[in-house]
Amino acid sequence: MLKAVLFDLGDTLVKTSNIVETLQKILKAYGIHRTQEEITIAHEKAGKLLGFEYMKTMFDDYWVKRNTIFLEKLGIFGRDDLAKIISEQWWDYSNVVVHSDVKETLNQLKQRGLKMGIITNGLQTDIDKIMAKIELNPNFFDIVVTVDTFGRMKPEKEIFHRALDVLNVTPTEALFVGDTVEYDYEGAKQAGLKALLIDREHKINEDVEKIHDLREILALV
């Protein structure tokens, strides 16, 4: 019997602006004009040089360092101030909206007495800013786990297990819903949880258990 339903955040519960477009907006606001192609290439190079796994130890310093590399790949040097601005002001330039199927689903799950939580590969500072921008009652969630909560990231088993320990729920009593196969679906399955992949746009072809609308969960719990 399920006692808890846990969710990824980005592209599962909320949709955010395109990363390249957001970078372009911030740069333009500070007098720097680059094409989306140039920004895309620089962003990809920065990601290869400083992968997401470094976030587990660097926390908030991660994005400042990665932004510094990104700017250097654009030919902009000595702008540590701008690297910090991009990190601090990101959510002033990036729109965040709650997917249309979220509130009804969360309300119904809450009414049925299930515990709920978020496990995201984001940082607490970012999650705080996101939650402040959206009309989503934080009381829906019994726990919100970020990279800096335990120093762990999906798909590591420990991030799932430690969240469930806080909720006093076993892996077999929990369902995890996310939008990526590797980090969300496979990560949760390997940790012993039930898992569903949310694929709203029917783009994922892998042989996994999928739903296309969060409200489909209600028939399963």
Are 58 and 102 members of one domain?
Answer: no
> How many structural domains are present in the chain?
2
Same domain, 145 and 72: no
Supply the CATH number for residue 124's domain. Answer: 3.40.50.1000
pLDDT of residue 176: 98
Domain boundary among 76, 93, 110: 93
Which one of 60, 93, 126 terminates a domain? 93
Tell me the backbone φ, ψ of residue 109, rounded to 5 degrees.
Answer: -65, -40
Low-confidence ranges of the chain (pLDDT < 70): none
pLDDT of res. 139? 82
- Give the predicted TM-score (pTM) of the model: 0.95
Contact 144, 167 (CB under 8 A): no
Report whether 3 contacts 114 (CB < 8 A).
yes
User: In terms of domains, do 78 and 187 share one?
Assistant: no
Strands 115-119 and 143-145: parallel
pLDDT in tens, 161-209: 999 999 999 999 999 999 999 999 999 999 999 999 999 999 999 999 9
Same domain, 132 and 167: yes
Q: Are residues 120 and 137 in the same domain?
A: yes
Q: What is the pLDDT of residue 135?
A: 81
Both tokens of 204, joined, read: 């994922």
Q: Same structural domain for residues 89 and 106?
A: no
Name the E strands within the chain.
4-7, 14-16, 96-98, 115-119, 143-145, 174-178, 194-198, 210-211
Note down the domain range covering 129.
Answer: 4-15+97-219
Evaluate whether 13 touches 7 at the Cβ level (below 8 Å): yes
* DSSP-derived 3-state class of residue 98: strand
Residue of 9, 11, 1, 14 lying closest to 194 (CA atoms): 1
The reported pLDDT for the residue numbered 38 is: 98
